[in-house]
Amino acid sequence: MLTRATLVAFDGASYTATIRPAASPARAVAGVAVARDIAAVEMVPGRNVAIASFTPNDPTDAVLVAVWA
């Protein structure tokens, strides 16, 4: 499933992100893997991101696949 979220933070050492899903704006999810083809310079808090989720009950079983405005 592909969902929209907002980037809260990015950890360049582990290449993971903390995101705030659009469907649950009060809840942040940490430890989401970021696709390695996305440059670290693009990972600015507040930007919109697309998240590909694989397991509905595990928000960390996902990967951040796109970033835009």
What is the residue range of 13's domain? 2-68
Task: Say which CATH number the domain at 55 has.
Answer: 2.40.50.140
Given a cut of 90, is residue 62 above it in pLDDT? yes
Q: Considering the entire predicted model, what is its pTM?
A: 0.93
d(C-alpha 28, C-alpha 24), whole Å: 8
Long-range contacts of 20-26 (CB under 8 A, 24+ apart): 21/51, 21/59
30 residue type, one letter: A
Q: Can you tell me the distance from the alpha carbon of 44 to that of 24, in angstroms, rounded to the nearest whole number? A: 20
**Average pLDDT score over the chain:** 96
pLDDT, tens digit (0-9, with 9 covering 90-100), for 27-59 = 999 999 999 999 999 999 999 999 999 998 898
Residue 25 confidence (pLDDT):
86
C-beta of residue 50 within 8 angstroms of C-beta of residue 2: yes
Domain count, the chain: 1
**pLDDT at position 49, please?**
98
